Chain A
Amino acid sequence: MRTTRFPGLDAGLGLLFGLILFFGMSLWFVSLENQNARREAEVRKTTVAAMSLAETVAALETVGAPPEALAPAIEKWREGDALVRDVRLVRQQGAQLVYSSVAADAAKGALPRRLVREEKPLFDLTGQLRGNVESNRAEGYRLPEAPVEGVRDDLLRVTVPIFVGDAYWGIAQVERERSTPAAGGDYGRAGLMLAVAVGVFFALAFVLRAVPLGLPDRWVHLAAVGVLLAVVAVLFGRYELQQLASYEKARASEVAATYQGFSASSQAAAAQVGATVPSTVPLDVDQFRRPLGQIGPDGQLNVPKLDESVSDNVGAIRDQLWWTGLLAAGLAALFALGQMRRLAETVREHRSAYSYVLPAIVGMLLLVFFPFTYGVMLSFTDRTLLNQGVPLTELWVGLDNYVKILGHFDVIRWTADGWSVNYESFYWTLFITICWTVSNVAIGVTLGLMLALALNTENLRGRAIYRVLLILPWAIPNYITALIWKGMFHQQFGVINQAIVMFGGEPVQWFDDVFTSFITGLATNAWLSFPFMMVVSLGALQSIPTDMYEAAKLDGATRWQQFWSITLPLLKPALIPAIILSVVWTFNMFNVIYLVSGGEPAGANEILITKAYKLAFERYQYAYAAAYSFVIFLILLAYGVFQNKVSKATEQVR
């Protein structure tokens, strides 16, 4: 430990790192948003181009223009914008490549011609867009109607469907050059502000040393850091946000200019054959071909709408900057209060311990926390099989899934045929899961303990053989055991029904009734779970000193009294952790339920985990299933907390 340090070094470092964090992150956010705005503007321009081409072709087709009029019309249309590179028109009927400005396409045969095999993706796209449009019409927007591809860093490709009247004609594909955003941000300004702020702080600290205020130095430093950080952050943030807003507005005017260019050129192109392009069709659309509304049909900017959208975007960044500022302030405070120094010291001191733990932490982060976080995020959305293309943020539904799961109180209802249980309800499944867990653990413990007591008999012959035989069910993979038991419960060929018939009984349809179906799972799991309990109890039994029993015998205790007063209390420390473990295993025993009864009849015997699986992979409600799984996690978490308390209690008993 150094004894002489410059006063306020900790706080100064805090200010430095806090500002580096703030500048780094805010520059990153702003540059991302800038790139986004640039990219979006380029996409919109290319979309406008493709849409206006589609409208031009539709206009030509409507008046029945001859095929040879197409090429000059497209040349005319091109005059609207100098950056359009390549254009393709594919007609679905007959898989015709009607027009292409790509030299390689013309080399494969004179146009128009049938698409060749390598051009299958074009044909598939033609079919796909038609399907997407029809599907979106029928069930809302979920499939892209104007897909965007980045062909190269400097080239964008947008494909839109062409409709002539109401009939699908084909696709128009436009490739347009895009300008790449200028890299870099205001690093100079940020660096300057950083240097000034840190300089001012150390000057202050120096002055403070000479002129003490009478307050503890540490708090004065902290206050100085806070004020400096706030001032710099507000100044810098405001400036960047203003820049961002004007940048976004400039991009929108670029799009409007392109719009006007194409409106004019497509009219001119159509006029060549005496057709007109309807000016009411919005060209500035998103990937679902929904108008964005920032540009009117005349190509003029709709200023209020634009301001609204810009202030939305900028507002989102502003919020992010606030959070970053708070984070930076927190970091600075940690430094200023000396926490970071202490942390650094412990890390240095226990270097090797931390380095041993690190791989496990990284592994846990990747394999456990990341999927878990994703699952939790999923549970707050509306993700299903059919909207996988839509970003999660657009599917946010808040707590809806949880409300639906936990609010499903309709468990028992009265129908014309009598009382009927609604097996779909979460509470029914929870009830079955609890019955399942409790009965399994009870049977497992009883059976295991009995067998352990039997095996613990002194001078038992062949004890080793019995022990191996009794552990076998545990050693065989449980899905194999589950499938064997499923076979044994088969209504016609199963050995259990054949045995029943042999003794003159009626064969049982095991999976047709809630109770018998439950029994099949129970029997299988009892078979699987007793060896574990047996092994645990056997180990504990052997550690009980025999002189206790001898003393009890001398006092005249019966066998039963010995069991209750000696054996059980001494087994408790070993049994309770085993029971706790086995509760968790059984609660989530997917294999047995899924493979043996499959939740039959009608999902009545589903446990929570198999139900979640079926929701996700049979009903395709991914988000709902994620919420279901999270509820299972919460139940087990609550149980885990309870378990901790219980095991602490047992430790105290010991």
Chain B
Amino acid sequence: MSEFKHSTLRRLLLRVTAFAAPALLVAGFAGEAAAQKQLTVWHAYRGGEKAAFEKAVNAFNEANKAAGISAKTLAVPYDAYADKISAAVPRGTGPDVFIFAQDRLGGWIEAGNIVEPVDFYIDDQVKGRFLPNMMEAVTYRNTAYGLPFNFKSIAMIYNKKAVASPPKTTKELVEWAKKNTDSGSGKYGLGYVYGDFFYHAAVMNAFGGGVFKQEGAAALPTATVNQPANIKSVDLVMKWYKDDKILPAEPSTALITSLFNEGKTNIVFSGPWFLGEVDKSIEVGVTNLPTVDEAGGAPMKPWMTIEGLYISAQSKNKEAAYDLIKYLTSDEAAKVMAVEGRQLPSNKSAFAIPEIANDPVMSGFRKQADTAVPMPNYAVMTLMWSPVTTAMNKIVKGTSAPQAAFDEAQKSLTTDIDALRKTR
């Protein structure tokens, strides 16, 4: 019995070694040959954006051939992207460089071992190439953790045929909209998803409101959902909806798209993603969101989502990785990303290129970026969405007054933040 077991075991061991030894040798040689610095970049782009991004990375590879640095891109499906980063990078199996919007940054930094601080590498020349506010999105607790790559925010999108001169203030907007509203035929002067907090943030910020207030370098901000400025901003929107009747009921992105395509609403607040759904026959203009007379003439400040280029804390070639992200935010790369990828680069020089400067859509969004503010990158941002969305739904459906709804959201958000705070 035991004789038999021993011999099988030995045979098995022999077989394993017979296979493993050459494999190990091959692996050893492969490691030797790849003394060059190979970088991996993860992105979630598709179509034109992907082609442009690959072109930019190839240009980097060409320029750095002599230094032995090369980067290869890997498209990761968007749905799985953030979870993959959280899981793979701390275990050292992730990319050297990755791209994502700033909303997950705080969580990743607090979790540790994912994002490398880059303050040390950044010089004034690099800092100077970006539009204002862009660095703020990739800065967490006073430390820069990446370079901003591109931005998206909502702006005023209008049908050029129907709107001769787009309104500049809310007063003009309401006047124009009232004239162009006819509830009988389902025409509305203004359309946007005002029940969605991301869209509402533009009005909220005009009133000086906000959902968080931070003290010092604390990782955990204080919730300020029910502050008076926020209530005022919702009151204004509800006035537009209930008293002025210029907004459609129960807005959804699908409804806004169809209203715009049918010519029933000619001014909408939305972002670059909206343009893909617009009927090709409509000539579209993009300009700044109006200033808010009710907030003392302050401009609407929509939240920007800014995609950052981050270096993995586990990367073996951090300097080469920084060279890559520095190149990807340079003037040449920004031009490729803007002209071919149709992105809005964070590098301001891209907007001086004639093709971009003369593009009404891109220059429209560029102008909006001057007043837009980056969406906060706190780790607790993920906690915020559920309570404020519930509150906005209740307010829009009229089942709750703004103050009561926001009080409840404040309570629930504070409870969740305190659960993180009270430790030790």
Residues on A lying within 8 angstroms of B by beta carbon are 95, 115, 117, 120, 123-124, 127-128, 130-131, 134-135, 137-142, 352, 382, 384-390, 394-395, 415-417, 424, 491-493, 509, 512, 601-603, 618-621, 624
B412 at the interface (CB under 8 A from A): yes
B400 adjacent to chain A (CB < 8 Å): yes
Closest to B398 in A: A417
**Contact A417:B399 (CB < 8 A) given known A139-B219, A139-B220:** yes
B215 within 8 A of A: yes
B-chain residues with CB within 8 Å of residue A493 when the two chains form the complex: 254
Q: Within 8 Å CB of A620, what residues of B?
A: 107, 110, 379-380, 420
- Complex interface: chain A residues within 8 A of B399 (CB): 417
List 10 contacting pairs A-B, 8 Å CB cutoff, sorted by A: A140-B423, A386-B220, A386-B379, A390-B423, A395-B424, A416-B400, A512-B393, A601-B393, A602-B389, A602-B393
Please state if A618 and B218 are interface contacts (CB–CB under 8 Å). no
Q: Which residues of A contact B389 (CB under 8 A)?
A: 602
Interface of B toward A, CB cutoff 8 Å: 1, 107, 110-112, 117, 119-121, 141-143, 215-220, 250, 252, 254, 318-319, 379-380, 382-383, 386, 389-390, 393-394, 399-401, 404, 412, 416, 419-424
Chain B residues with CB below 8 A from A424, complex form: 412
Which residue of B117, B379, B404, B412 has the most chain A CB atoms within 10 A of its CB atom?
B117
The answer to whether A386 and B120 touch across the interface, beta carbons within 8 angstroms, is no
The residue in B110, B399, B424 that gathers the most chain A C-beta atoms within 10 A of its C-beta is: B424
Task: Tell me whether B218 and A131 are in contact (CB under 8 A).
Answer: no
Alpha-carbon separation in the docked complex, A415 to B394 (Å): 13
* Residue contact B382 to A124, C-beta cutoff 8 Å: no
Q: In this complex, what residue of B is CB-closest to A418? A: B399
B416 CB contacts on chain A under 8 angstroms: 619, 621
In contact, B218 and A139 (Cβ under 8 angstroms):
yes
Supplied contacts A416-B401, A417-B404, 19 more A-B pairs, CB within 8 Å: A115-B120, A120-B120, A124-B120, A131-B217, A134-B142, A135-B218, A135-B219, A139-B421, A140-B421, A382-B422, A385-B107, A385-B379, A386-B110, A509-B250, A512-B393, A602-B390, A620-B107, A620-B110, A621-B419
Contact B252 A491 (CB under 8 A): yes
**Which of B112, B120, B250 lies at the interface centre, i.e. has the most chain A CB atoms within 10 A of its CB?**
B120
- Cβ–Cβ < 8 Å partners of A603 in chain B: 386
Tell me the complex Cα distance, A620–B400, Å: 29
A415 to B399: give the CA distance in the assembly, Å.
11
Q: What is the CA–CA distance of A624 and B400 in the complex, to the nearest angstrom? A: 31
Complex Cα gap A619–B387 (Å): 12
Contact status A140-B143, CB under 8 Å: no
Structural contact, B400 and A417, CB atoms closer than 8 A: yes
Known: A120-B120, A131-B141, A415-B404. A384 touches B319 (CB 8 A): no
Contact (Cβ within 8 A) B112 A388: yes
**Cβ–Cβ contact B404 & A416, under 8 A:** yes
Cβ–Cβ < 8 Å partners of B217 in chain A: 130-131, 134-135, 138
Among B119, B141, B220, contact of A123 (Cβ-Cβ < 8 Å): B119
Residues of A within 8 A of B423 (CB): 140, 142, 382, 384, 386-387, 390, 395
Chain B residues within an 8 Å CB radius of A352: 1
Give, as a whole number of angstroms, the nearest-CB distance from A600 to chain B: 10
Chain B residues within an 8 Å CB radius of A602:
386, 389-390, 393
